[in-house]
């Protein structure tokens, strides 16, 4: 402890001396308009003021925002069926209170009389966090905090507790909006900031209720921006922070040094269940956009174009002749959807949308979601080495439409199997009726099927699965070629040598993806 204090005092002294020296140097530098010299006592006074304000900076931020962060208390109510001993009203259900069970066991459990079914309510209580965003009681939190709630309460930092209701949720962004039922117009609403101004290295505070310890404040920095974690079908653009976030922090505030909420704390990366230095928050701009839609229309409206997309790796970029250009590869184009109507094809690389360059698939997915349905937007794509502009009319994302796209017909089973042969380091076979049945491959699908991926592979071929269908192959500077048999595959790849880039179009169930590697 003494050593720590000495180091702290020494570092503080060095800070003051450094600040004093820089102040004196600035005051003595030549200038056209001479200014009065700064004395040592004045410089020391200025340094002391700066140091004093820094000492109270985070406490001032916490006192400003903490009243706006609430505990979200939910009760999940499940009905379970139990089987009651018909004599339990007299002797109890178990233990020594039941003389029959104590001496003879339970005569009603197996071979005795049938037990009497009884429905009982099972209640489970959880705790999360939320941020008051309006004086009349609207609160931002996470979808996963309130999912399945039977009863909902919010507890303020000043211990006041109110009943609340769910206004609306959006599982795709993990945002929920709840509201205090009681009519109140003077709640402490948090000031909302601009997450677009954040930079890695900026100070950040996380405020919430980890492990039920209410109004907990932790300090860290913004570690990274634009993170995507896990499920690629969700809309994500996370702020990564090392401010400690733990279970119960979900739905709480991530705050900048101006005392403004810039994110809604959502999840952590952990191998232990506790904090490991990596936490994620939903940018406040995304959360607010979802909230505004929910409050105004009761649902979230998102743009939709009907493609599956992926980021090209190094081998893919070489095979597609992308050079230094950034773009997103179209893995599939859904039939009857806006992209198909506009002329976008599988294998196209989307370079820009509406004049905005496409950096990666996650950014493109989020950007398209923000487009208004009905808007006409130019898409610049690269196809066979040539750029072209296609105008696309954005549709509205519908869960019914998205669910329908995943449906595929299944062939009837037969008995025979296909013979496996080695190609491109993989065990492949011609598609037979038996293999179509075994792997539920659509009757319209043509290609060669993957039977085995050797465990020794360390490139992107290792992501291939048994039952994947290789439909097209692109090698070197040639265009994509259809491969409907192993014989055709041999023709396409007969000039390929070690070190060449190979790009495969693979069909997996209802989706398509590209796999690129160096042979």
Q: Do domains 58-77+122-299 and 303-405 have the same CATH topology?
A: no
Q: Which of 134, 144, 442, 459 is catalytic?
A: 144
Q: Which of 174, 195, 293, 332 is catalytic?
A: 174
Q: What is the mean pLDDT of residues 502-509?
A: 86
Q: What is the mean pLDDT of residues 342-354?
A: 94
Q: Which CATH architecture has domain 58-77+122-299?
A: Beta Barrel (2.40)
Lowest-pLDDT range of 7-11, 235-239, 449-453: 7-11
- Asked whether residue 360 carries a pLDDT value surpassing 60, the answer given is yes
Q: What φ, ψ does residue 421 adopt, rounded to 5°?
A: -135, 155
CATH 3.30.300.30, applies to 303-405: no
Q: Looking at per-residue confidence, does 181 or 88 come out higher?
A: 181
Lowest-pLDDT range of 80-84, 245-249, 432-436, 506-510: 80-84
CATH 3.40.50.300, applies to 421-518: no
* DSSP SS3 for 404: helix
Q: What is the mean pLDDT of residues 274-291?
A: 93
Distance (Å) of CA 54 to CA 49, 58, 200, 260, 262: 9, 8, 20, 17, 21
Whether 110 sits among the annotated catalytic residues: the reply is no
**Rounded to the nearest 5 degrees, what angle is found at the Cα of 96, between the Cα atoms of 94 and 102?**
85
Asked if 403 and 432 touch (Cβ cutoff 8 Å), the reply is no
Q: Which of 223, 250, 308, 512 is catalytic?
A: 250
What's the pLDDT at 513? 83
Whether 60 sits among the annotated catalytic residues: the reply is no
Asked if 28 and 36 touch (Cβ cutoff 8 Å), the reply is no
Assigned token pair, 383: 């196809």
Whether 250 sits among the annotated catalytic residues: the reply is yes
Place of tokens 């493609």: 307
Percent of the chain clearing pLDDT 90 (strictly above): 42
What's the pLDDT at 440? 83
- Asked whether residue 426 carries a pLDDT value surpassing 80, the answer given is yes
Number of H helices, E strands in the chain: 12, 27
Q: What is the mean pLDDT of residues 78-91?
A: 45
pLDDT-based confidence at 411, cuts 50/70/90?
very low
Residue extents of the structural domains in the chain: 58-77+122-299, 303-405, 421-518
């Amino acid at each position: 402890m003494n050593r720590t204090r000495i180091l702290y005092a020494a570092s503080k002294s060095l800070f003051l001396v450094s600040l004093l020296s820089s102040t004196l140097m600035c005051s003595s530098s030549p200038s056209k308009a001479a200014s009065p010299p700064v004395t040592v006592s004045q410089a020391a006074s200025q340094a002391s003021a700066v140091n004093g304000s820094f000492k109270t900076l985070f406490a001032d931020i916490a006192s400003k925002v903490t009243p706006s962060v609430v505990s979200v208390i939910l009760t999940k109510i499940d009905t379970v069926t139990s089987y009651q001993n018909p004599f339990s009203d007299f002797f109890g259900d178990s233990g020594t209170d039941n003389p029959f069970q104590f001496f003879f066991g339970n005569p009603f459990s197996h071979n005795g009389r049938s037990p009497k079914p009884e429905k009982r309510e099972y209640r489970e209580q959880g705790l999360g966090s939320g941020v008051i965003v309006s004086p009349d009681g609207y609160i931002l939190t996470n979808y996963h905090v309130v999912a399945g709630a039977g009863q909902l309460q919010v507890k303020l930092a000043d211990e006041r507790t109110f009943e609340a209701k769910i206004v609306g949720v959006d599982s795709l962004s993990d945002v929920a909006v709840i509201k205090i039922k009681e009519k109140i117009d003077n709640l402490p609403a948090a000031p909302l900031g601009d997450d677009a101004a954040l930079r890695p290295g900026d100070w950040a505070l996380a405020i919430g209720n980890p492990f039920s310890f209410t109004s907990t404040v932790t300090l860290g920095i913004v570690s990274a921006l634009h993170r995507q974690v896990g499920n690629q079908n969700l809309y994500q653009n996370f702020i990564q922070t090392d401010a400690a976030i733990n279970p119960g922090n979900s739905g709480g505030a991530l705050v900048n040094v101006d005392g403004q909420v810039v994110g809604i704390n959502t999840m952590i990366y952990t191998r232990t269940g506790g904090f490991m230095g990596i936490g994620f928050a939903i940018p406040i701009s995304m959360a607010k956009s979802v909230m505004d839609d929910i409050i105004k229309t009761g649902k979230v409206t998102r743009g939709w174009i009907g493609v599956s997309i992926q980021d090209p790796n190094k081998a893919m970029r070489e095979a597609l002749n992308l050079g230094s250009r950034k773009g997103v590869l179209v893995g599939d184009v859904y039939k009857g959807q806006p992209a198909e109507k506009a002329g976008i094809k599988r294998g196209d690389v989307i370079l820009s949308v509406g004049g905005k360059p496409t950096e990666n698939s996650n950014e493109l997915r989020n950007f398209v979601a923000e487009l208004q349905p009905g808007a006409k937007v130019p898409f610049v794509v690269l196809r066979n080495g040539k750029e072209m502009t296609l105008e696309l009319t954005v549709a509205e994302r519908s869960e019914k439409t998205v669910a329908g796209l995943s449906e595929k017909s299944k062939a009837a089973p037969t008995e025979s199997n296909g013979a496996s042969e080695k190609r491109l380091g993989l065990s492949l076979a011609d598609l037979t009726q038996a293999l179509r049945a075994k792997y539920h491959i659509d009757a319209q699908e043509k290609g060669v099927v993957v039977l085995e991926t050797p465990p020794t592979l360390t490139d992107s071929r290792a992501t291939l699965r048994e039952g994947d269908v290789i439909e097209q192959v692109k090698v070197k500077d040639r265009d994509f070629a259809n491969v409907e048999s192993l014989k055709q595959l041999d023709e396409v790849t007969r000039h390929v040598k070690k070190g060449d880039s190979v790009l495969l179009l693979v069909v997996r169930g209802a989706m398509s993806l590209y796999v690129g590697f160096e042979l």
